[in-house]
């Protein structure tokens, strides 16, 4: 079967699958209803005592209800995959897909919550659904709204993470740690160019430059230059005041204030990280980079440069977001284990320590990284267990865990 870009075979098969099953999720009871006694235990009158106990101590919801192992996958449908603002209804299949990844890799029950009218007070709506969930995974929300929503939900008592931001940043950091081991480059000496200043680009920049992170937890690379469709982002660039997140990037990166194109930024760089668009870098640009360049071309399904072209131009390590090339850099290596660890620790939030611990767990899972293998296989469920263990321990150490009843 041809799954290459432009082929519609996979799309036809996916439509048939979803039509046959009417979606990918269902709800099943954990307890039997064989007789009146069963009904009295599961529902009235017995359930009244459970509710009474929880009314006295909300934390008992973790003991007596689905809260302890349930995640809400929340979207407003404004940035779904590469399809853009397609709305809540059209987002359902993607959120269902995310839910089955949570279940398959981490044993977490996850449910899609898709809002259609995103012009309302979205943050308050999400807060109001929090009681039943042990955590909230924000998904496919357009920038800059995604930053604002996540920031506003950090103190609701359960972990909230925008996976497009932090899940991506975590797996990129894990990949970069192993790429340094393979090439001999020193992490703190790296000069990096990031193409794409949306949710993923902003979060990767923050993590690699330790912007907003505790310096005792986070290790900073030497320099980052971020590029968007207008070229490099630098202090004093016209119009930056209209986007406070790009303004933050300008203040914290590109210290030489290089004004120019992506090609200009790549001259002498050690690393290219692409979360942007197909074909934006050429072999000539790769040749202008430092020796043993590291290329993470993560645009999907067509990367910023194809791996064979990048290697032909001298790149030492190449990663993409695709499963049909070595070094797949995919969020599924991160988010199931991050939330599994957060739930296991009954975390109140996802701390800096938890994110950094997840990245190191992903990198360390590959015992002997090579140029063709810097990342674990995304189907290896042992990665989730390793990440969950590291994240749970970090949650406890950083004071984010809640004692179990």
Query: Catalytic site residues?
Result: 43, 98
> CA 354, 107, 26 angle in degrees (round to 5)?
130
CA dihedral 27, 28, 31, 37 (to 10 degrees): 80
Give residues with Cβ within 8 angstroms of 25, minimum separation 6: 96, 99, 100, 111, 112
CA–CA separation, 109 and 96 (whole Å)? 11
In Å, what is the CA distance from 58 to each residue of 63, 131, 188?
A: 10, 9, 45
CA–CA separation, 267 and 285 (whole Å)? 7
Please choose, from the candidates 379, 299, 397, 331, the residue with its C-alpha nearest in 3D space to the C-alpha of residue 166.
Answer: 331
In Å, what is the CA distance from 135 to each residue of 56, 111, 315, 401?
A: 22, 11, 40, 13
CB 290 within 8 A of CB 270: yes
């Amino acid at each position: 079967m041809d799954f290459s870009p432009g082929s519609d075979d996979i799309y036809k098969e996916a439509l048939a699958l979803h039509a046959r099953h009417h979606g990918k999720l269902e709800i099943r009871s954990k307890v039997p209803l064989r007789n009146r006694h069963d009904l009295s235990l599961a529902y009235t009158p017995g359930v009244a005592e459970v509710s009474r106990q929880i009314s006295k101590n909300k934390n008992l919801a973790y003991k007596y209800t689905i809260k302890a192992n349930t995640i809400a996958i929340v979207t407003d449908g404004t940035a779904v995959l590469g399809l853009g603002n397609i709305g809540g209804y059209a987002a359902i299949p993607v959120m269902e897909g995310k839910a089955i990844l949570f279940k398959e890799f981490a044993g977490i029950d996850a449910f899609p919550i898709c809002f259609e009218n995103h012009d309302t007070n979205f943050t308050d709506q999400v807060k109001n659904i929090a009681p039943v969930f042990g955590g909230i995974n924000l998904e496919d929300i357009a920038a800059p709204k995604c930053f604002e929503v996540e920031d506003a939900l950090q103190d609701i008592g359960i972990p909230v993470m925008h996976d497009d931001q932090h899940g991506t940043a975590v797996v990129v950091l894990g990949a970069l740690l192993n790429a340094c081991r393979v090439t001999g480059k020193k992490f703190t000496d790296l000069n990096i160019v990031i193409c794409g200043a949306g949710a993923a680009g902003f979060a990767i920049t923050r993590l690699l430059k330790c912007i907003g992170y505790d310096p005792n937890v986070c290790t900073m690379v030497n320099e980052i230059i971020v590029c968007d469709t207008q070229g490099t982002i630098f202090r004093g660039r016209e119009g930056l005041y209209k986007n406070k997140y790009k303004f933050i990037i300008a203040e914290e990166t590109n210290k030489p204030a290089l004004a120019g194109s992506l090609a200009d930024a790549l001259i002498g760089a050690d690393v290219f990280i692409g979360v942007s668009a197909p074909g934006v870098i050429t072999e000539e640009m790769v040749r202008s980079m430092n020796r043993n360049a590291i290329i993470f071309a993560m645009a999907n399904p067509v990367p910023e440069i194809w791996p064979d072209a990048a290697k032909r131009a001298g790149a030492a390590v190449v990663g993409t977001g695709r499963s049909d090339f070595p070094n797949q850099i995919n969020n599924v290596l991160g988010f199931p284990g991050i939330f599994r660890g957060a739930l296991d620790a009954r975390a109140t939030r996802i701390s800096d320590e938890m994110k950094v611990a997840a990245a190191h767990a992903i990198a360390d899972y590959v015992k002997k990284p090579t140029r063709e293998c810097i990342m674990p296989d995304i189907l290896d469920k042992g990665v989730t267990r390793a990440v969950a263990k590291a994240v749970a321990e970090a949650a406890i150490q950083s004071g984010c865990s809640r004692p179990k009843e």
